[in-house]
A = this chain, B = another copy of it.
Amino acid sequence: MSLNEAQRAEIDQLKAQTSQTRRVTVPALEEILYDPLPVLDHGFVRVIDYMGDDAAIVQAARVSYGKGTKQVRQDAGLIRYLMRHWHTTPFEMCEIKYHIKLPIFVARQWIRHRTANVNEYSARYSILDREFYLPAPQHLAVQSKANRQGRGDALEGDEAARVLDLLRQDAERNYAHYTEMMNEGADGEPLDTGREGLARELARMNLTLNTYTQWYWKCDLHNLLHFLRLRADDHAQYEIRAFADVMLDTVQRWTPAAYQAFVDYRLGSAEISAQGMDVIKRLLAGEAVTAETAGMSPREWRELMALLGREG
**How many copies of the shown chain assemble into the complex?**
4
- Answer whether residue A152 sits at the interface, using C-beta atoms and an 8 A cutoff: yes
Q: Tally chain A residues at the interface, Cβ within 8 Å.
A: 141
Q: Contact at A18–B22, with CB atoms within 8 Å?
A: yes
Interface core residue of A67, A204, A218 (most chain B CB under 10 Å): A218
Binds B, one of A242-250, A251-259, A265-273: A265-273
- Answer whether residue A50 sits at the interface, using C-beta atoms and an 8 A cutoff: yes
- One digit per residue, 1 when the CB lies within 8 angstroms of any chain B CB and 0 when it does not, for chain A 30-62 equals 100110000000000000111110001001110
Interchain residue pairs with CB less than 8 A apart (7): A13-B67, A50-B51, A114-B115, A167-B206, A205-B210, A269-B271, A281-B308
Residues of B within 8 A of A117 (CB): 89, 92-93, 220
List the interface of chain A (C-beta within 8 A of B). Answer: 3, 6-7, 9-11, 13-15, 17-25, 30, 33-34, 48-52, 56, 59-61, 63-67, 77, 80-81, 84-86, 89-90, 92-93, 95, 97, 99, 103-105, 107-108, 111-112, 114-115, 117-122, 124-125, 133, 135, 139-144, 148-152, 155, 159, 163, 166-167, 170-171, 173-174, 177, 180-182, 184, 195-202, 204-210, 214-216, 218, 220, 230, 235, 237, 263-265, 267-277, 280-281, 283-284, 297, 299-300, 303, 307-310
